[in-house]
Structure 1
Amino acid sequence: MSLPLSLKWPLGLILSSTLLLGCGEQVIDQRPAPGPLHVDVLDLTPTTLRLTTELPGRIAAFKQAEVRPQVTGILKSRLYKEGSQVEADDVLYEIDPTTYQSNVNSAQAQLAKALTSEETTRKTQVRYQELLKKKLTSQQNFDDADAAYKEAQAEVAIRQAELDYANIELSYTKIKAPISGQAGLSLVSEGSLLTAEQSSYLTTIVQTANVYVDMQQSSLAITKIRKEFASFTDKDAEIPVSITLEDGSAYEQTGHLEFSNTSVSDSTGTVTLRAIIPNPDNTLLAGMYVRAHISMPEARGYLVVPQSAVVRSQSGEPSVFVVNQDNKTMKKPVVLGNEVGNSWVVKEGLSNGDQVVITNIINMKNDIAVVIDSRTESTAPASASEE
């Protein structure tokens, strides 16, 4: 018995669909399970580096003196060229000395008078002393002559002190450079009335052969740096400091760390570090902002991993994947230190000989099988300073 034509097509479609479905299931069942990931690893070995710490800094004058008058008078002349180099004790200004020279003359006359009186009383005292030995005068007369002589001596000392003071004031009419350096703009001109201990200065002198670089660092970071410095063998080694200028260029001269402040700022919680940098060409000016690089006293071996190998959790905690002896991955939390080029110094979490995964990081998970395609040995980053 034959089926109607209208029933043949649906039956054919059903059979075809069944066959196709069966083939599809067979294909899915026969797909191979995903194999191990292929990765490259870094065989960790210590890399010898002389690490640096970068801090913002500001240039300060090595020595800076504000020149002020020490006596009152009319400014007679300016004896230096603005912007020129001056030496200590060079005369910069001169105040009219007439009054002070008169005081010196008067003090000299008073001293001469006192000396004459001293000589007269001395002779009287000697004469009474001889008479007393011969018992030709009384003890009272000798005591009176001796007292007059001692009073005359005291008067001489007083007049000598007055003369010294008058000479000192006269010398102050020549206003001298307190230090050697570059003299600045003069803020007064001839004919100006100057007064002793005035608040406004006449000019400034800045010593520019060397300059300071003042840097700010948190008290916590300073504590860590000091602990690291304490572990170095040479406790008296100079700590080199280099700087980068505002335009990004490296300054040629290298200085050294001078000291760190002994107190923490109440407002910022930071400690001031100060370095001395040579400045032979006056390139560095007071007030300039720079980037300072403080080098460790000596080179040491550190474990270094590429930045691309470090993964971070949602909270920002860093970790890396290593391959164990079973060729399976293991996620290890790490503590990162200095940044050197495109790498991180690992302070904690890894050991010498660990195999750090450096490729296929995006597909990496904990405890999965991997195949190592190539191994790379640790080398110093290109921008790291080596000894």
Structure 2
Amino acid sequence: MSLLNSLRLPLGLLLSSSLLLGCGEQTVEQRPAPGPIHVDVLNLTPTTLRLTTELPGRIAAFKQAEVRPQVTGILKSRLYKEGSQVKAGDVLYEIDPTTYQSNVNSAQAQLAKALTSEETNRKTTVRYQQLLKRKLTSQQIFDDADAAYKEAQAEVAIRQAELNYANIELSYTKIKAPISGQAGLSLVSEGSLLTAEQSSYLTTIVQTANVYVDMQQSSLAITKIRKEFSTFKDKNAEIPVSITLEDGSIYEEAGHLEFSDTLVSDSTGTITLRAIIPNPDNILLTGMYVRAHISMPEARGYLVVPQSAVVRSQSGEPSVFVVNQNNKTLRKPVVLGNEVGNGWVVKEGLISGEQVVINNIINMKNDITVVVDSSTDNTTPALTSEE
């Protein structure tokens, strides 16, 4: 190949590349500019809702008593059926009363002796009083007789108190139910030695007709809830509470909020809320974990936006895009409240009448022109809450 031919080939390739590049640039320059983005919007209007706050809770007994002996002795018999309902005053156990009955008999005899001595001294005092009026005895003898009579009266009082105490101890040999409720498992059997004021209990009685639901919430969250409650008209309105069981099922009976603690836990920084829930069928057991739903005292109008319309920054701050009168987008930071269906309650950042972009969110930017294809109101069932 000659030198001329060898130079012609690269030159031809270079010219061809230049022509192709020129055609590509012409193609880019002739591509039409993208048109405005088409979106659908939601016309914000208040939705009437009765919001709820969900908290983890634990079932606690409405009343619970630990049954212990008050005197020492051998357990003679158990008189109740484990797991049965008992009434306050029912005899659950009986301790061998032999020793205590003997103490009662002795106290009765001592009282009878003291009463006899009192009567004798009384008659003596009356007799010396009559003699003293007739001046047939001295004042000293009468005073001695009167003092002996008063001592006899005091002795009667002492013996009466001893008898009362003996009867009380005898009554303690019948261990009775302190409250009405369901009696638990017996931890002792016949023949066991029981001692007064022992640390271990014999059984427990739990009142199950109603139960408590204890809920823990941070002090900051409680402050926000109290502020919201303070804006309602009826300050004494009963606050309903419903619960969800561990298996996810809804418990049929509803209760009400009873009180909130006034102290913040040093270890957890939380405050305890307590609700009372009816438990007629004994479904709720002490120690069971549940989810409690605290309802607001009354329904109110709230602005609700779909969850899909909310975008978040890298730091997690929520915002939505709205369309102004010039069909320009505006990104607005919002403060979200409760989750309602597939929507969020907007507490701050939006006002009624604004148009919120609800589709094509991935292409949204601030201050771009859009075309609104359709607008809807936020009255769809997906954005409503149970009253």
Do they fold alike, i.e. is TM over 0.5? Answer: yes
Distance in 1, matches of 2:54 and 2:137, equals 90
Residue in structure 2 matched with residue 316 of structure 1 by the alignment = 316
Residue in structure 1 matched with residue 365 of structure 2 by the alignment = 365
The amino acid that maps onto 1:273 is L
What is the Cα deviation at residue 346 of structure 1?
Answer: 0.8
The amino acid that maps onto 1:374 is S
Distance in 2, matches of 1:232 and 1:217, equals 21
The amino acid that maps onto 2:153 is Q
Question: Is 1:129 paired with 2:124?
Answer: no
Residue in structure 2 matched with residue 231 of structure 1 by the alignment = 231
What is the Cα deviation at residue 45 of structure 1?
Answer: 1.1
Cα distance change on mapping 1:372 and 1:187 into 2, 3 Å: same
User: SS state of the match for residue 321, structure 1?
Assistant: strand
The amino acid that maps onto 2:39 is V
Q: Which runs of 5+ in 1 are unaligned?
A: 1-7
Cα distance change on mapping 1:119 and 1:381 into 2, 3 Å: farther
Cα distance change on mapping 1:11 and 1:163 into 2, 3 Å: closer
User: SS state of the match for residue 272, structure 1?
Assistant: strand
Question: Which residues in structure 2 correspond to 1:272-311 (within 5 Å)?
Answer: 272-311=272-311
User: SS state of the match for residue 122, structure 2?
Assistant: helix
Cα distance change on mapping 1:60 and 1:381 into 2, 3 Å: farther
What is the Cα deviation at residue 188 of structure 1?
Answer: 1.2
Cα distance change on mapping 1:15 and 1:262 into 2, 3 Å: closer
What is the Cα deviation at residue 219 of structure 1?
Answer: 1.1
Residue in structure 2 matched with residue 53 of structure 1 by the alignment = 53
Q: Which moved more, 1:93-102 or 1:184-193?
A: 184-193
CA contact (8 A) 2:343 2:382 kept: no
Residue in structure 2 matched with residue 211 of structure 1 by the alignment = 211
Cα distance change on mapping 1:17 and 1:69 into 2, 3 Å: closer
Cα deviation code 1:129-153 (max 9, x no counterpart): 3344444443333332322222222
Distance in 1, matches of 2:89 and 2:380, equals 54
What is the Cα deviation at residue 9 of structure 1?
Answer: 11
Question: Which residues in structure 2 correspond to 1:174-213 (within 5 Å)?
Answer: 174-213=174-213
The amino acid that maps onto 1:118 is E
Cα distance change on mapping 1:384 and 1:85 into 2, 3 Å: farther
Question: Is 1:375 paired with 2:378?
Answer: no
Q: Which runs of 5+ in 2 are unaligned?
A: 1-7
Question: Is 1:37 paired with 2:37?
Answer: yes
Cα distance change on mapping 1:334 and 1:153 into 2, 3 Å: same
Distance in 1, matches of 2:115 and 2:34, equals 116
* Count of residues in correspondence between the two structures: 383
Residue in structure 2 matched with residue 263 of structure 1 by the alignment = 263
Cα deviation code 1:47-89 (max 9, x no counterpart): 1111111111111222221111111111111111111111111
Cα deviation code 1:7-43 (max 9, x no counterpart): x999999999888777766654444332221111111
Name the TM-score, length of structure 1 as normaliser.
0.91
Cα deviation code 1:159-192 (max 9, x no counterpart): 1111111000000111111111111111111111
Q: Which moved more, 1:230-239 or 1:315-324?
A: 230-239
Cα deviation code 1:302-338 (max 9, x no counterpart): 1111111111111111111111121111111111111
